[in-house]
Amino acid sequence: MGRLWLRAGLLALMTSLVPLGSAFAHCVVGNRFFPATLNVDDPCVADELSLPTISSFKTGDDPAARELDISGEFSKRITDRFGVSVGSTWSQLRTPGSPTVSGFQNLETAFQYQLLKDATHEFAMMASLDIEWGRTGASSVGADPFTTTTPTLLFGKGFGDLPAEVGWLRAFAVTGGLGYAIPGSSSTTSTDPDTGDPTATQNPRVLQWGGSLQYSMPYLKSAVVDLGLPDVVNRLVPIVEAQFSTPVGNTIDSGTKTTGTVNPGIIYIGDKYQVGVEAIVPINRDSGGNIGVIGQVHLYLDDIFPNTIGRPLIDTSAIGKGN
């Protein structure tokens, strides 16, 4: 219960801050809008709230457990280019023959910097330092006792700069991310329940990589051709995401097998929010027991609260300008 109030307090504190400046927050690059994706982060610093994100799937354990995750993430711009985010996930695990367990995963934060936005080529790039804080979650649901730091590079590229002759192909876009997860401890020691002897398990360094292929119906209408489709169709973004993890260091116990999922789905873009749903398709048995599902409600805080929490804390655009 103490961890629950800590997470609620952190979220309330950050959302109560009254910013000093203003700038456009969505991931808009030229004519291209990159929606917030459900599995791999989009490449822009923004003011936004994902609440809730709910997923249900079977784990890759033997026997497989049915896992339910409910999470939230709050992202806040400090300046036009620099932002922070904080997120937390509550998990429930149902394993055949074992009691149901539940609890919070470790608290996660990210420090993000917008490296580039090229409007002409619809290209964006962002650097992020992601930190999962050890011992802030419940070990019963798999939360690690050590902190993991993951430097990450994220990008997005729209194809609106292709020749006009290719027509509808210009509505395609891709995003991607590459991170290197570094555990704060090289090994974790536990006690064998049968013998009472201590056992050390090596914690691997992991390459985390993935991306998305998306087709923007809003872009097709506004920048390519208006087909006269219903408004609800013109707000859809069909998408396929993929996320993978490959142990690349300290792999004596983990091995080097890649695990991950492919996530086909669709995102609906509203005026101040978006709603997305995707399937969770494991790429192998170690990645999951069957097909799961993930859904998310995502709020654009710069549109909902344009004069308060939807603006950066510091207006860097005014720095250096005369009165």
**Average pLDDT over every residue of 306-317:** 88
Residue 251 phi, psi dihedral angles, 5° rounding = -105, 20
Encode pLDDT of 130-154 as tens digits: 999 999 999 999 999 999 999 999 9
| pLDDT given for residue 57 in this prediction | 97
Residue 278 identity: E
For the domain 2-318, what is the CATH superfamily, name and number? monomeric porin ompg (2.40.160.40)
Is 321 a residue whose pLDDT tops 80? no
52: pLDDT confidence band, cut at 50, 70 and 90?
Answer: very high
Provide the H-helix boundaries in 16-114. none
Q: Is 7 helix (H, G, I), strand (E, B) or coil?
A: helix
Please give the pLDDT value at position 19: 34
Find where tokens 């952190």 sit. 10
* Residues in Cβ contact with 61 at an 8 Å cutoff, skipping those fewer than 6 apart: 95
Give me the half-sphere count of Cα atoms (radius 13 Å) on the Cβ side of residue 253: 11
pLDDT higher than threshold 60 for residue 18: no
Return the pLDDT at 197: 76
97 pLDDT more than 70: yes
CB atoms within 10 A of CB 316: 14
13 pLDDT tier (thresholds 50, 70, 90): very low
Among 195, 258, 262, 254, which residue's Cα sits nearest to residue 38?
A: 262
Dist CA 109 CA 54 (whole Å): 19
Question: What is the average pLDDT across 63-90?
Answer: 97
